[in-house]
Structure 1
C-alpha cells in the first residue's frame, strides 16, 4: 500500500484533488473530485465551441475549441462542464474518448482531438457483387449509427 505522505495534492492523470488528514473543508475537495468525475465517466459533449454559452444548463458539457476566448482562453481541447452554477474543467489526455452529441460521432485524443472520417459506400469496379456491396453498406450504416464514423 502506498504511504499517504507520498501522495501529491492531485491525481496525475485527471488532477482530482486528494484529501489529507486534518484538512479543513474536506467537502470542497470531495465535491470538486465528484464534479470532475461526472465529466469524465462516459464523457459526452453538447458540441465544440470557443466561448461559453450565456445560459448553459446544469450538467451540460462542451469541448473547448482551439479558438477559445473569454474565460476559456488557454483551455483549448479541454472539456468544460456547467455544474452547480460554475464551470468545472477536465484536462484531455492521451487515449481519452468522448461522444459529440451535435455530430453523433466519437472523438479520440491523440495529441489533439481526432474525429473518425466517414467511409464511402463501394462503387465502380469491373465486377459488381450486389450482396457484398449490400453487406458493406449495412456495416457502414451500423458503424455510423454507433458514432464510429
Structure 2
C-alpha cells in the first residue's frame, strides 16, 4: 500500500505513524482546496502579495516566485504557506472575478467555455450538435421580399450562435 491516495496524493494515516494529526490535517487542507474549487482570478503567473487564508488561484504558465514550477496547479494559501494540487481532467473551478466556470481538460484551463454534447433545460434538449448550413430562399413564382428578409435574418442568427455552419 502506498503512503498517499492515487488521485490527489492525499496522505494516508499509517499504523505506528507519529503525529497522525499532521497527515490528517494536510489531507483536509488539500480536500478543502480541490473539492468544488473557487479561484479568486486567473490563471495568474505571480502569487498575490497578501492572500487571505483559504484563498485559491490557478497558476499560469511562466509562474514566478513561490509559484515557480507549479504551472496549471490549484494554489491555496494556508497558515503554513502555499499548498499546490495538480488538477485532474474534468475538474471545474469557479472563477470569482470573471463569474464563470473554468474547465481543466488535462492540458489546458478553458477560458470559460465548457464542453458539452447538448444543452438540456427542464428535460428538453434545446441545443445539440451543429447542423449543416441552410440556404437562403430563392426562386418561386411569388416573391415576398419581407419574408425572405426575415428568413435571412433567422439564418444569420442561427449562424452567429453557432447552431448551423
1:51-100 deviation line (CA, Å, top 9, x unaligned): 11121111110111112011211100001111124111111111111111
Q: What's the offset of the Cα at 1:44? A: 0.8
Match of 1:88 in 2: 83
Aligned equivalents of 2:110, 2:95: Cα separation in 1: 12
Q: What's the offset of the Cα at 1:126? A: 4.0
Match of 2:99 in 1: 104
- Correspondence for 2:40 among 13, 38, 46: 46
Give the 5 Å matches for 1:70-89: 70-89=65-84
The answer to whether 1:55 aligns with 2:47 is no
Contact 2:102 2:113 in 1 (8 A): no
Match of 1:145 in 2: none
- The structure with higher relative contact order (CA 8 Å, sep 6+) is 1
Gaps spanning 5+ residues in structure 1: where? Answer: 1-6, 119-124, 138-149
Aligned equivalents of 1:10, 1:27: Cα separation in 2: 15
Q: How many residues align?
A: 119
Q: What's the offset of the Cα at 1:107? A: 1.0
CA-based RMSD of the aligned residues comes to: 2.1
The SS at the match of 1:113 is coil
Contact 1:19 1:26 in 2 (8 A): yes
Match of 1:3 in 2: none
